[in-house]
Structure 1
Amino acid sequence: MTRHRAGRRTVAGAGAALLGAVWCATALPGTGHAAETPQPYAFADDVRTVVGTPSSTGSRALTPGSTYRSSIKHPGVGGTTQLYYRLELGAKDNVYVSATALPGLGSDVGFADGIQVSVEDANGFDCDSGSARFGASRSPRPLTASALRAAGPEESRCAAAGTYYVVVERTASSRSSMSSATDKPSTPESWDLELHVTSEPGLARRSATTPPPTEDSGTPSPPAGPVRPRAGGSSFSTAKALDQGVWGDRVEPGRTRYYRVPVDWGQRLSATIEVGGGRGGGIPGGIGGSSGSSGGSDGSGRSSGAGAGGGSGGREYVTSALVVSVFNPARGPVDDMDTAYDGRQKSTALPPLPPVAYENRYAPIDRLAGVRFAGWYYLAVSLDPDVGALFGEGGVGLTLRVGVSGQRRTGPAYAGAARPADAFGVTERDEAAARGGAGGDDASDGPGARGAGRGGSAAAGANGDEAMKVLAAAGIGTGTVLVAVLGVWTLVGRRRAAGRRASV
């Protein structure tokens, strides 16, 4: 992430046809293009639905400690779509807002397609902003960006109590003379958004405002030992809890797996991700299924090719096939890495991170400043869909070597409570959850509880709500058709009742 500062049957059939006409008349103008296949992202059970506005006027309020579901339309080639949300903040808490954008499976995205999140004051001053884009991988995966409102005596702007605005922008790549002939325009679909708001209380007493000295201790050795199975979740809310050790999972091309690790004050997180090898026919721990098409034959122009650097001549590969992203407890991006894939096992390691410390926030480098509080740190592992097209469909084996090192230290003395509660610390309950593997899409309780994702029950309910809203807003003409449908159903009911009376 980049930070910037017949008879009865015939009548019933007619009613169904009229209802279909109502749906077509109402759904088409407002829905635009739907995703080819919805992103299987599990929203939290307690997620709230909020609609962004194109202006700060009339924008809906977001409350710290809550998670929201929204959506944002495609801006058009080379354009930008902006949505506003409102925050009512005091003068003591730091507030973090993250936005996760969810393109549909199978959709096309460009290099510069992405999102930006900003927090602005009532005068339009940009307090902070962060952005994320698909980049070279051009793989439709969840994208997360974040921004904050920092409070405290050292802040000269945006520290006062009052109204602030969250601005979420979606950008689309523009075609130019530099574009590849095989580049496709991004799919003109709306993206679902997940907005998460976290507040961190101020300190009871002032602390140092300089980052601690960088420890040049290198990358810790990855844990060794037998691989224990632990299936990741499909979202932040259902991320599978891990503790230190070696864990095994599988990820399908085009999908993202989420994991979370408790990291306390003074501790360092390290992770090495290994992806299994396979040769088309499929081997245990590798790719199943038959061999797919050759590199670039689908015309995506995204990532397949021949002769990866350092590989044998003519060997096909997918660049940026595996993308691994790390997020802090406020879902703020910390770092990411990627690796190419040519059908043989590959490994990528998280660059060294400093021990968790409150003063890290004053570091000039984002990946250091992000490690500013204790709590759950998230790993998101995404596999490019071209891996399935090139090497065969089916899950790819993952091995996650997760390390947590360093001596625990006493955390800062906060002058209040975080929202959500216990967001910035590690409790005994968190450690037990990590040992037991809490969370995942099959969980039913706890902080990693399963949330129905797109295509699940929550999505069905949300889609039903949206359908009713569309019907209500469709206008007088569509309302007339709806009345006709209801009239037909009433006629059917009367005929059935008359038939039953005649038979008595």
Structure 2
Amino acid sequence: MTGGAGWATVRGYDEGWRVMGRRTAWWHGGRPLAVVATVLCATAVLPGRPASAAEAGAPKPYAFAVNATKVQGAMGTTDAVRLEPGRTYRSSLGKDGKLYYRLELDASSNAYVAATAVPRAGTTVAYSDGVKVSVQDGNGGACSSATTAHFGASQSPHPIAASASREIGPGKYACQAAGTYYVVVERTAASVSSASPSSSPDDWDLELSYVSEPRLKKAGSTSAPETWDSASPEALQGDARPRRGGAGFTTARALEQGVWKDGISPGQTLFYKVPVDWGQQLYATAELGSSTGGDGFVGTALVMSLYNPARGLVTDVGAGYDGSQRSAALDPLPPVEYDNRYAFSNRTSGMRFAGSYYLVVHLAAQVADKFADGPFGLTLRVRVDGGAQKGPAYAGRAVPRGLFDTATGDDVSATGGLVPAGSGGSDDGTTMKLVAVGGIGTGSVLVLALGVWTVAARRRTTPRGW
């Protein structure tokens, strides 16, 4: 179990104000006041505005990709639906679930498939409940070791992700030929056992991601780096900047090096992403603030997991909670190198791509039983050491394009707010694009709204020949 016992682990391998109707329709019957009110309300949720503790800590359901395609997993290979690289899918997995999905692979690209299992509201889970993912050929042979993610000792339902791959390479690799392959997703152990009364039979929702990595132009080393700096650096200090975490992989909020603060409630899972380039090392610590009341101890209260750009679990760490502040730090990780993939441990082999690495933080639901509903203060200390180095020479492009680049799609402002690039999610870039979201205050927005109102009113009362 990576990182110690007691937490989720992997074993084995209306855009702007774009008016589409008649221009006078917005201004009849007192509508200007409504527009001003709308602007003021929108200002309260602009991405650049730091969230209050209550907003930050309010539990939200998992944020599935807004463009995810709904598919039904097959009970056997014959009717398995085909997955396309670069796309995200939604499905569900029953208590006795073992589902098949189909891949059509070439003989030159690496394929990575991840399944994020999301227990539904009211679900209970046991320690060994989990989701297992494997990729198999047409004869039932495994292309790589299957991986399983468990909920761990906290027995707190939350999103967990496991992944599997088909990799091209010399020697030990199977499944090298082009052809049809199958992704197998199944629930494990306690979920299907009548001997585990703490597990409920409810279906779990699934989010499936499938990405493709091209081969290298020229084959290189097939050995993992033997030495790297494994010393822990000096802890980052300074005032924390506010940053509200996302509710899923596709809404993960960007973090650069620094100290960040958020709020987290029992049962909540927050997602962040950190760009890490070739040759760079990532360090991260999560700190749970002290409680203002309550009593007792929760053995595995805080869990921080690190996933790579393909959503493969790299490592995780957990901490108990007794009402006093607690911290959990990732053990030092190797610099991002292509050749890390040849290592046996997930902690090394997972650091195989440049791109956005996901920090996923969960607070066990049981914390509410002893220390109230929160939210509790959360501090993240993120360090990225080393200068960016030149990456490997790929013979093609990743699918989706740019997956293994360090651009996050978000800008980190001086106040800690984000100016999103416009992908979906609760804080996307479609809100008030007319406003410079990074720094315009409520007064400026009000002036802008009144200005639009005035211009529209003049146009309405001016002859058309003007």
Shorter chain as normaliser: what TM range?
A: 0.7 to 0.9
1:279-301 per-residue CA deviation (whole Å, 9 max, x = no partner) reads 32xxxxxxxxxx4xxxxxxxxxx
Distance 2:254 2:63 in 1: 16
| Identity fraction in percent | 50
CA 1:436–1:118: 2 relative to 1, 3 Å: farther
Change over 3 Å in CA distance of 1:174–1:99 after alignment to 2: closer
Q: Report if aligned partners of 2:278, 2:391 keep a CA contact under 8 Å in 1.
A: yes
Sort the Cα spacing of 1:324 and 1:413 in 2 relative to 1 into closer, same or farther, 3 A.
same
| Cα distance in structure 2, aligned partners of 1:236 and 1:174 | 24
1:227 aligns with 2:240: yes
Q: CA deviation at 1:153?
A: 3.7
- State which structure, 1 or 2, has the greater radius of gyration over its C-alpha atoms: 1
Q: CA deviation at 1:263?
A: 0.1
Aligned residue number for residue 359 of structure 2? 379
Is 2:445 the counterpart of 1:424? no
Alignment-derived partner of residue 430 in structure 2: none
Q: 1:243 touches 1:434 (CA, 8 Å); kept in 2?
A: no
State the partner residue of 2:290.
277
> Following TM superposition, by how much is the alpha carbon of 1:4 offset from its aligned partner in structure 2, in angstroms?
3.5
112 and 230 in structure 1: CA distance in 2 versus 1, 3 angstrom threshold: same
1:213 counterpart residue number: 226
Contact preservation (8 Å) 2:131, 2:187 = yes
Structure 1, residues 182-217: CA drift from partner, whole Å, max 9, x if none?
x74311110000000010000000111111123244
Q: Distance in 2 between matches of 1:102 and 1:336?
A: 18
Work out whether residues 353 and 404 of structure 2, in 8 Å CA contact, stay in contact via their aligned partners in 1: yes
Q: CA deviation at 1:119?
A: 0.1
SS at match of 1:137: coil
Partner of 2:143: 127
The count of corresponding residues between Structure 1 and Structure 2 is 373
Report the counterpart of residue 87 of structure 1 in structure 2.
103
TM-superposed CA distance for 1:136, in Å, is 1.1
Q: 1:140 aligns with which of 157, 175, 199?
A: 157
| Structure 1 segment 110-259 matched on structure 2, within 5 A | 110-128=126-144, 129-154=146-171, 156-173=173-190, 184-259=197-272
Q: Is the 2:130–2:191 Cα contact (8 Å) retained in structure 1?
A: no
C-alpha distance in structure 1 between counterparts of 2:374 and 2:197, whole Å: 25
Q: Which residue is equivalent to 1:396?
A: 376
Give the superposed CA RMSD.
2.3
For the residue of structure 1 that corresponds to 2:348, the secondary structure is helix
Aligned to 2:350: 370
Check conservation: 1:322, 1:340, Cα contact below 8 A. yes
Per-residue deviation, residues 317-351 of structure 1 (Å, max 9, x unmatched): 00110011000000000000000000110011111
Q: Which residue of structure 2 aligns with residue 264 of structure 1?
A: 277
SS of the residue corresponding to residue 399 of structure 1 reads: strand
C-alpha separation between the residues in 2 aligned to 1:44 and 1:188? 25
CA contact (8 A) 1:278 1:343 kept: yes
- Could you tell me how far apart the structure 2 residues matched to 1:446 and 1:191 are? 29
- Is 1:326 aligned to residue 302 of structure 2? no
Distance apart, 1:39 and its partner CA: 7.1
User: Please, what TM-score do these two structures have when normalized by structure 1?
Assistant: 0.70
- Higher mean C-alpha displacement, 430-439 vs 391-400: 430-439
Mapped partners of 1:42, 1:174: distance in 2? 24
Offset of residue 2 of structure 1: 2.9
CA distance in 2, matches of 1:134, 1:250: 22
1:447-484 alpha-carbon deviations (Å, 9 max, x no partner): 5x3179xxxxxxxxxxxxxxxxxxxxxxxxxxxxxxxx
Against the structure 1 CA distance between its residues 176 and 161, is the aligned structure 2 distance closer, same or farther, given a 3 Å change threshold?
closer
User: Counterpart of 1:425 in structure 2: which amino acid?
Assistant: D
* C-alpha contact (below 8 Å) 1:262/1:431 kept by paired residues: no
The structure with the greater share of residues assigned to helix is 1
Verify: 1:339 aligned to 2:319, yes or no. yes
Tell me the equivalent position of 2:29. none
Residue 58 of structure 1 corresponds to 79
- Aligned partners of 2:162, 2:376: CA distance in 1, in Å? 27
Q: CA deviation at 1:84?
A: 0.1
Shift in CA distance, 39/142, structure 1 to aligned 2, threshold 3 Å: farther
Distance 2:106 2:426 in 1: 31
SS in 1 for 2:107: coil
Structure 1: state its 5+ residue gaps.
Answer: 6-37, 76-80, 281-290, 292-314, 453-504
Deviation at 1:111, TM superposition (A): 1.3
- 1:240 & 1:156 partners in 2: Cα distance? 36
Q: Is the 8 A contact 1:88 1:163 kept in 2?
A: yes
Q: How much does 1:172 deviate? A: 4.3
